[in-house]
A and B are shown apart, each in its own frame.
Chain A
Amino acid sequence: MNVADLERIYDLLADTIDAVPEDKVRLFLAKFALLAAHALDDARQVTALIENARTDL
């Protein structure tokens, strides 16, 4: 993914987090994570991404 696309996704995620009701943000992100995992179709990679995401919180 090039920088321009990455920036667009960044904004889209930010705007969608703002657009959904505040008490639904967690649900939205969990849905997105499951959809992304399914689209990636690679359990090992998804596991590594989950580990990656939880570092330096």
Chain B
Amino acid sequence: MHQPNDEPRKSVYYRYQVFPPYLPRETEARQKVVIVGAGPVGMTLALLLARYRVPSVILDSEVQVSEGSRAIVYTRRSMEILQQAGVARRIAEIGLPWRFGNSYYRGQRVFRMEAPHDEDSRFYPMINLQQQYLEEFLLDEVCRSGLVEVRWGNRLIGLSQRDDGVEARIDTPLGEYTLSTDWLVAADGARSSVRSLLGLSLVGDSYAGRFVIADIKIDLDLPTERLAFFDPEWNPCNTVLMHRQPFGIWRIDFRLPEGEEPQEALRFEILKARIDAHLEMIGYEGKSWELDWCSVYSARALTLENYVHGHVVFAGDAAHVLPIFGVRGANTGFQDAFDLAWKLAFTLHGWSGRSLLASYSEERVGAAKEIIEEAGRSTRFMTPPTTGHRTMRDAVLSLSIENGFVGPLFHWRTSRPHVYARSRLNARDDDQALFLEGPVDGAPIPNVKLGLDDFLLDHWDESIHLLVFTEHEALPADVTTLQQRLRARGVPLRLLAISLGRRRVEGADLTLPDPEGRCWRKYGASADGATYLVRPDQHVAARWGNCTAHRIAPALERLVNRLGESA
């Protein structure tokens, strides 16, 4: 019998709540969706599914939120996704936003990264918050949704695929039970039990070297900016990273000396000597601090080749394990959840055929491979794997003191939204080539400030959206007819008019006034009638110079790939 640890985890700043484990009932109803793992990706997915009235059950082998601050940095894109899940406001209230990254070498700042931030950005490029708080906020929202059941202390121990779904065997403190479900989503992290039960393995690279993460409570009068110290005197050849977190917590992250075992590195005396040496180097000699959490990880860049296996779907770290350099772990996982949620919901509601889910795998495996390529570059710079890489890295560090041109070689690039340029969902015969500005097919749409505390993406919901830039008093009648035809089949299609002069465009579900033409310019809408077809996950599927139903209909059909059959 599974006996989860029910002692609250220790922390100097966070009070863990222990939840009662779920105990099996006499009869278990068949589920639509079972999500394994109550982490950030699993709970975000559940919340996004709930917007389509798709209920889900989340299983977690533990009885409390995860230990330690873990994925502390969330990108703007993640915040846009978390806004749709309903938790961005709470994160922004206590998180620490930032946009600068500094690289130090021999006591000098040799490179300062500045992430773009303008008035069209509702969220900062990055925001720091310990993962426990993120999980707590997600959990509150999950409980409020009324459509998600979290089963704590439930450990997945067996899986069998059926033609129409999955049977999961689950162990609890009261013994085992079986749960049937149409779909099972593995969001159970880097050591995914679903992945091992299915015998799937990850492909990619593992990098030499292990890294210590330590969170300490200390009062440092430094701004919220990422700090990287290359080749520090106390730890030659290595790199030390520092991040500020809320509640006076700092993350310190460094590589273990070659050949040292993790247990050794995490011994308090060893850890203390190293942290003290680092604090001394940055001018805080003898400053007292308290350890909150520490851990060892290794840098790996791995992915499954396919994220959909029968009725089992993988997301987040269960699907791919990415190096933390460039904040690519959780931030990639949120994008998985956003891509998956609408496709799974459309499939379950019968609004689309199965190939929509195949596009999830294609798009996100493609994204993971691109990230692996980029993350590999960052990792090779942080921890050069060979003499050649070491030589060139040292050459860049040495040049950086006097030569700005090497700055970009520091590989400060961080997680960014993937452009699904080759997605099967993109229209093939739209007017993409006519646009000089604006998001290309497959790209996420940019946010635009419309007014005081009012942004374009604030108005987004779970629908497929048609953004029509128009000065006419009404949308074309054949477009509203097309919308009615889709809605009759249940498919949510929302018509958003963006107008320079009108407060209300007839036929639109919502008219957004754009008196200064800021939105028009950003989307390259040079003529009246410019139209974007945008997927529920805010990625462009097609764009045209004019708004006509006979061109929109086939693109919609491609998007949900079943409309043609039933039309």
The residues of A with any CB-CB pair to B shorter than 8 Å are 26-27, 30-31, 33-35, 38
Query: Could you say which residues of chain A place their CB within 8 Å of the CB of B398?
Result: 27, 31
Q: Report B368-418 residues with CB < 8 Å from chain A CB.
A: 391-392, 394-396, 398-399, 403, 405-406
Complex Cα–Cα for A38 and B392 (A): 14
Q: Is the CB of B405 within 8 A of A27?
A: no
Question: B529: shortest Cβ distance to chain A, in Å?
Answer: 43
Q: Is the CB of A34 within 8 A of B391?
A: no
Query: Could you say which residues of chain A place their CB within 8 Å of the CB of B394?
Result: 27, 30
- The 7 residue pairs across chains A and B that have the minimum distance between CB atoms: A30-B395, A31-B395, A30-B391, A38-B405, A27-B394, A26-B391, A31-B399
Complex Cα–Cα for A34 and B398 (A): 11
Complex Cα–Cα for A35 and B405 (A): 9
Q: Which residue of A lies closest to B406 (CB)?
A: A34
The residues of B with any CB-CB pair to A shorter than 8 Å are 391-392, 394-396, 398-399, 403, 405-406
Q: Is the CB of A27 within 8 A of B391?
A: yes
Q: Is the CB of A35 within 8 A of B403?
A: yes
Q: Which residue of A lies closest to B394 (CB)?
A: A27
Q: Can you list 8 A-B pairs with a CB-CB distance of less than 8 A?
A: A26-B391, A27-B394, A27-B395, A30-B391, A31-B399, A33-B395, A34-B392, A34-B399
Query: Could you say which residues of chain A place their CB within 8 Å of the CB of B399?
Result: 31, 34-35
Query: Could you say which residues of chain A place their CB within 8 Å of the CB of B395?
Result: 27, 30-31, 33-34
Query: Could you say which residues of chain B place their CB within 8 Å of the CB of A27?
Result: 391, 394-395, 398
Q: Which residue of A lies closest to B396 (CB)?
A: A34
Query: Could you say which residues of chain B place their CB within 8 Å of the CB of A26?
Result: 391
Question: A17: shortest Cβ distance to chain B, in Å?
Answer: 15
Question: A51: shortest Cβ distance to chain B, in Å?
Answer: 15
Query: Could you say which residues of chain A place their CB within 8 Å of the CB of B392?
Result: 30, 34
Q: Which residue of B lies closest to A37 (CB)?
A: B405
Complex Cα–Cα for A34 and B406 (A): 9
Complex Cα–Cα for A38 and B403 (A): 10
Given contacts A34-B392, A35-B403, 18 further A-B contacts (CB under 8 A): A26-B391, A27-B391, A27-B394, A27-B395, A27-B398, A30-B391, A30-B392, A30-B394, A30-B395, A31-B398, A31-B399, A33-B395, A34-B396, A34-B399, A34-B406, A35-B399, A38-B403, A38-B405
Query: Could you say which residues of chain B place their CB within 8 Å of the CB of A33?
Result: 395
Q: Which residue of A lies closest to B398 (CB)?
A: A31
Complex Cα–Cα for A30 and B398 (A): 10
Question: B23: shortest Cβ distance to chain A, in Å?
Answer: 64
Complex Cα–Cα for A27 and B396 (A): 10
Q: Which residue of A lies closest to B403 (CB)?
A: A35
Complex Cα–Cα for A27 and B392 (A): 8
Query: Could you say which residues of chain A place their CB within 8 Å of the CB of B391?
Result: 26-27, 30
Query: Could you say which residues of chain B place their CB within 8 Å of the CB of A30?
Result: 391-392, 394-395
Question: B25: shortest Cβ distance to chain A, in Å?
Answer: 66
Q: Which residue of A lies closest to B405 (CB)?
A: A38
Q: Which residue of B lies closest to A38 (CB)?
A: B405
Complex Cα–Cα for A10 and B103 (A): 35
Complex Cα–Cα for A27 and B388 (A): 10
Question: A34: shortest Cβ distance to chain B, in Å?
Answer: 6
Complex Cα–Cα for A38 and B406 (A): 9
Complex Cα–Cα for A49 and B505 (A): 62
Query: Could you say which residues of chain B place their CB within 8 Å of the CB of A38?
Result: 403, 405
Complex Cα–Cα for A26 and B391 (A): 7
Question: A49: shortest Cβ distance to chain B, in Å?
Answer: 16
Complex Cα–Cα for A34 and B396 (A): 8
Question: A13: shortest Cβ distance to chain B, in Å?
Answer: 16
Q: Which residue of B lies closest to A26 (CB)?
A: B391
Query: Could you say which residues of chain A place their CB within 8 Å of the CB of B403?
Result: 35, 38
Complex Cα–Cα for A35 and B399 (A): 8
Q: Which residue of B lies closest to A27 (CB)?
A: B394
Complex Cα–Cα for A31 and B396 (A): 7
Query: Could you say which residues of chain B place their CB within 8 Å of the CB of A31?
Result: 395, 398-399
Complex Cα–Cα for A38 and B396 (A): 12
Please indicate which of the listed interface residues A33, A34, A35, A38 has the most CB atoms of chain B within 10 Å of its own CB.
Answer: A34
Complex Cα–Cα for A41 and B399 (A): 17
Question: B384: shortest Cβ distance to chain A, in Å?
Answer: 12
Q: Which residue of B lies closest to A33 (CB)?
A: B395
Complex Cα–Cα for A33 and B394 (A): 13
